Chain A
Amino acid sequence: MIGICSYAGYIPRLRLNRMTIFSAMGWLNPAIIMNAAGDKAVANNDEDSITMAVSAGLKCLNCFDPADIGTVYFASTTAPFKERQNANILAGALASGEEIRTADFCGSVKSGTAALLAALEFVAAGNENNALACAADCRLGKVSSVQEMVFGDGAAAIMVGKDNVIAAYKGSYSISCDFVDHLRGANSKYDRQWEERWIRDLGYERIIPQAIEGICKKYNLALSDINKVIYPCYYGGARKKINRSLGLDPAQVQDELMMDAGDTGSAHPLLMLAKTLEDASPGDKLLLISYGNGCDALYFEVTEEITKYPNRNRVSDAIKNQAELTNYLQYLTWRDMLPIEVGMRGEEDNLTRWSMVWRNRKAILSFEGTRCQECGTQQYPPQRVCVNPDCGAMDRMEPVVLAGKGGKITSFTSDMLAASTNPPAIYGNVDFNGGGRCMMDFTDCTLDDLQVGKPVNFSFRIKYIDTKRDTTFYFWKAVPSEEVPDNG
């Protein structure tokens, strides 16, 4: 049997209430009141599609050894690099090793299911025992646009494989057509769309039913036997129409998360699937449909294994973990949509020396340190001479990945002088569980969340953006947590 072995959704902690946008920009485009209900999930200023995919991917590993991953796929229409395999950064952060296949899927918000299908077929072809498909998006609409209201940031990850399958893959059906409802040229930052009525009537309301009917016909399914139909469509009216035309009971249709997150693009079908799986029961039949210049439809059947799946990786928890971003201008600043004064300290040059990054890639991407085989001292960054003054052994180190270990705070501060688009910069010393320490940035917190001794987890984030060379550089940051991590 081939199918889903694990799943995870990631919704960034910050939420921008859509009325905050309307209050700021409704004077220019009053029609956006139509989309002003609920919250839009907003990536922090140190998050992008890659970091969110890493967060989802790490969660999806869920006790699975990253060294056993056979392939890593990354889907996004907002990948930070046009040339430089984005999936390799993701795979590096997941510490999956280098003897694997990776690929980026892009070009449409349908790319999330394209990656998932490729992963399923990769395993089905007998290449490896498992494959990981991650999808994330962080799309931008222009100020006061419908897209700005509707889009949300988020990610999802689905692990597929042959063993411990919680939802068996039964088959797929696809439609691909150059239906240009949205487009973003190779050099554009913002989404552009055609008339909404046309998008709704000819796009969602026609192509999605066509895909659902197509897969049902192909596998001889009756829609009444399907427990959940999962499809993205942010037009409430269109959803009702689609459901009615197909004879779907609203209970059969997965909520589209518009009130809690928004349309997360490539990630959205997979995020909705993860949300469905958190409550799914053995025997449930699921149809997953993506939408973007056509549709992919996938058919799954939930197995008994889901009852043994550890802690169910609830997307609901990600929905609950939230803080409001009350200032719309802060959002615009983080997305580089306002010509702000960064100060001369913020203008200092930041050249990335790639030959050095290559040598240290495991320390940087995989947060890999060393453990002395003589005295057991864990240390970071990797050392050749043991730092333990009572040991000092040379070249007796073995690698140790610290990303999942967590740690505790030993000192901290919040710094108003450091250049940052999210001041104050909060950082401090963190002792890793199991030994070693690192001076680290803290994120997703305020000064009030910190105290000496408090536990932290680690999150892969943007370290800096070199605007002069259009380069994003990533490293790990500490996030204060209430619980001590399990695997410490």
Chain B
Amino acid sequence: MADGIRDKVVVLGMGCSVFGERWEDDSSDLLLEAYQECIADAGIEKKDIQAAWIGNHIDEVNIGKGGCYLANTLHLPFIPVTRVENFCASGTEAFRGACYAVASGAYDIVMAAGVEKLKDVGYGGLPDSPIFGQLARLINPNATAPGMFAQLATAYASRFNLPMERIKEAITHISWKSHQNGAKNPRAHLRKEISESQIADSPFVAYPLGLFDCCGVSDGSAMAIITTPEIARKLKPDQELVKVKALQISVSSGEEQIFNRWDGSGFMTTRQAARLAYEEAGITNPREEISMLEVHDCFSITEMVTMEDLQISPPGQAPDDIINGFYDLDGQVPCQTDGGLKCFGHPIGASGLRMIYEVYNQMLKRWPEDRLVNNPRLGLTHNLGGVPSHNVCSICILGTI
């Protein structure tokens, strides 16, 4: 009987590039920036890496298909390298592949990398591409990510009979919080504190979302070295073990978009992945037990509904929790302590690993005092790829307990 990933693997070391508009850098430069930090942190050499996974979403714009790009950039010596793609969960998918490889006993030390170079697209936002295939392109609206995620707000308002002003108030606080946290983070893309009125008054991108409800579109890379707890204790006897407690992926069955049960106000995938992840990690009361969150705030409204999908806020209560500061850096469950996708930025294939990087470093208390979470024991990272009606959700829980 399978018993999941809990405590079978640990994060030995991590690296993360500065995220942003890296006009002077190729994907290879971003990967090398993350690699130098990661390999030094892990205290190993290139020859110790037995296999690697690379997460990347929009191969057309930069690195192409297959695993060669990572292997060629680092000149990895003919080891297995696998490129994985699962929308915005691609980085977490790379991490998941690496974790399972070690847990299976096939390898001792492996690499999980993620990279995305979005600022060669030539225009703002994500590139227009038939992500759901050619037939969907003939049927679905010529939609953008903000337009698809914005509909969470109209559906949520309808479900809980809330005025849109209350939702705007909550999501404005979400963006304000991310700017507060991002401003403290030297690697973040957007590092400016802004006022709630600046956010609320920003021009509409897709009703009811304004410009400041949308995350940064960034270049960046993040990376992890995974090994067994035994090897980690041997290689780094002084470092507390950051163990993988749960890894879950849930993919839309098509029910949301085709069947009439889903009401559009949240994510069926997140609810499923969260339930299984808590079970895998042995968590029974997530609101009390989870110390910190890094969630997929591609848009502020996504973060709002995700707080309920993850069972941190009760149904209909996320706006109140958010406005009351429950998820602020000094709140009960700090969320997006590094600025999140909103301000750290969102190089798609790297984002999942960037979140794990933040939880890992918070647990090892490596950040300056003003942005440290108080003694985090369990941290949850969460990605959503695709659109609310049709998506991939990944959840990773890390812990030192």
Contacts and interface: CB of A to CB of B under 8 A. Distances in A.
Interface residues of A, number: 50
Given A389-B253, A410-B264, A425-B147, A363 B258 contact: no
B43 to A, nearest CB: 45
A488 interface: no
Given A344-B123, A414-B206, A357 B138 contact: yes
B141 interface: yes
A389 B142 contact: no
Interface string B152-164: 1011011000000
Interface in B224-273: 253-255, 257-260, 263-264
Contact of A428 (B139, B144, B151, B260): B151
Contacts of A413: 146-148, 150-151, 154, 206-207, 209
Contacts of B106: none
Interface string A414-449: 111111100011011101000111111100000100
Interface in B127-153: 127-129, 134-135, 138-144, 146-148, 150-152
A458 interface: no
Contacts of B144: 415, 417-418
B205 A380 contact: no
A333 B150 CA distance: 28
Interface in A352-383: 352-353, 356-357, 360, 363-364, 377, 379-381, 383
Given A418-B144, A452-B155, A429 B138 contact: no
Nearest to B254: A387
Contacts of B140: 439
A235 interface: no
B260 A439 contact: no
B206 A452 contact: no
Given A356-B134, A411-B151, A441 B158 contact: no
Nearest to B214: A417
B198 to A, nearest CB: 18
- Which among A363, A418, A420, A440 has the greatest number of chain B C-beta atoms within 10 A? A418
B154 A412 contact: yes
B122 interface: yes
Interface residues of B, number: 42
Given A360-B138, A415-B147, A389 B255 contact: yes
A463 interface: yes
B141 to A, nearest CB: 4
Given A411-B154, A412-B154, A415-B150, A435 B260 contact: yes
A73 to B, nearest CB: 27
Interface string B91-122: 00000000000000000000000000000001
Nearest to A429: B264
A343 interface: yes
Nearest to A378: B260
A464 interface: yes
A482 interface: no
Contacts of A429: 151, 155, 257, 264, 389
Contacts of A452: 154-155, 157-158
B214 to A, nearest CB: 9
Nearest to B145: A417
Contact of B141 (A379, A425, A435, A453): A425
Contacts of B154: 411-413, 428, 452
Contacts of B203: 416
A439 B135 contact: no
Nearest to B207: A414
Given A348-B128, A417-B147, A427-B147, A441 B138 contact: no
A345 interface: yes
Given A428-B154, A463-B138, A418 B147 contact: yes
B367 interface: no
A179 interface: no
Contact of A389 (B141, B157, B209, B259): B259
Interface in A172-187: none
Given A411-B264, A413-B150, A475 B143 contact: no
Contacts of A463: 138
A156 to B, nearest CB: 29
Contacts of B157: 452
A428 B154 CA distance: 10
A437 B260 contact: yes
Contacts of B206: 413-417, 424
Nearest to B136: A381
Interface in B193-221: 203-207, 209
B325 interface: no
Given A413-B154, A413-B207, A345 B258 contact: no
Contact of A415 (B122, B129, B143): B143
A381 B135 CA distance: 10
B67 interface: no
A29 interface: no
A353 B134 contact: yes
B125 interface: yes
Contacts of B122: 344
Nearest first, the 8 closest Cβ-Cβ pairs linking A and B are: A415-B147, A411-B151, A427-B141, A452-B158, A413-B150, A411-B155, A415-B206, A411-B264
Given A348-B128, A356-B135, 16 more contacts: A345-B123, A353-B134, A356-B138, A387-B253, A387-B258, A411-B264, A413-B154, A415-B143, A415-B146, A415-B150, A418-B142, A419-B142, A424-B207, A425-B142, A437-B259, A452-B158
Interface of B: 122-125, 127-129, 134-135, 138-144, 146-148, 150-152, 154-155, 157-158, 203-207, 209, 253-255, 257-260, 263-264, 389
